[in-house]
Chain A
Amino acid sequence: MTATLIFYLLGAVALVTTALAIIQRNPVYAVIYLVKSIFALALIFYLLGAPLVAALQVIVYAGAIMVLFLFVIMMLEITPVSARKSSAPGWLSWTPVVLVALVLAVMTLLLIGLDPVAEQGIPRWHATPRDFGYALFNEYALAVKIISFQLSFAAVGAFHIGLTERRRARMEKDS
């Protein structure tokens, strides 16, 4: 009963902080609100029986990815003047949002109506990090290798994008 109450509380916190994140003018505040939303989601993951994924959500998302966002925002020195220069979104840009929201709402209602297991409750269960690691490095060993390849490709790609720009700037200075 307490877990149910905490789930709804955390869900409300996640929704409110996400809504606050997307209406901010300043990207720094948006990132801070998104970190709060990620913390609420991590606690929901813990309630749903994924303690290791909850810890990784805090460490990887809030600790690494969001700090990367903050790092780039601070590095770019986006002044309030350049933020004000961007035109306000017109009413026309909201129409696809409304359409997609309608489609997703209908899809979710259909999923709930058609799926017999959707109405049954999520049982109280939790996966130990031991179960998680065993499945990860046995059944999903190939996926782990592919993902590690992809991470190194991303590192090389990010380095390449940064390096070409720097090299071009140096050539312009020389000429």
Chain B
Amino acid sequence: MIVPMEHLLVLATLLFVLGFSCVLVRRNLILILIGVEIMINAVGLVFIGAAALWQQVDGQIMVLLLMAITAAEVAIALALVVHLHQRKQSIDVGLFDEMRG
């Protein structure tokens, strides 16, 4: 036995909350994307822990698919960041308020 599953769940929850607070509090678009990355990593940690707990390889495959989805998401999101920076010369999310959200 390496570690109880509940300790791993607590670690993943803490990482997820850190990433979520980064998304909600920061105003810089790139730091918001970094928060999303942190949350995806926390989810991957739970998948790997579940794979080890039941000794099935499926959880690890889910993490691999998650990595591919993250790569696609980051490619699109960073292209959009470059696009928005060309429009406003800034990546502060407070400036993009034309839709009056």
Contact = CB atoms under 8 A, between A and B. Distances in A.
Contacts of B38: 18, 21-22, 34, 37
Contacts, number: 237
Contacts of B30: 27, 30, 69, 72-73
A22 B18 contact: yes
Main secondary structure of the interface of B (DSSP, over half): helix
Nearest to B59: A50
Given A7-B3, A108-B9, A97 B92 contact: no
Interface string A142-160: 0100010011011101100
A123 to B, nearest CB: 6
A151 B68 contact: yes
Given A85-B92, A122-B2, A157 B76 contact: yes
A47 B27 contact: no
A49 B64 contact: no
A117 B4 CA distance: 10
Interface size range of chain A in the complex = 35 or more
A98 B63 CA distance: 28
A108 B55 CA distance: 22
A41 B10 CA distance: 14
Contacts of A38: 41
5 contacts: A14-B11, A50-B60, A53-B48, A112-B9, A136-B61
Given A22-B38, A48-B48, 20 more contacts: A7-B3, A14-B11, A44-B45, A44-B48, A50-B60, A52-B60, A53-B60, A65-B74, A78-B91, A86-B27, A94-B21, A97-B20, A108-B9, A108-B10, A117-B5, A118-B6, A120-B53, A139-B58, A157-B76, A158-B79
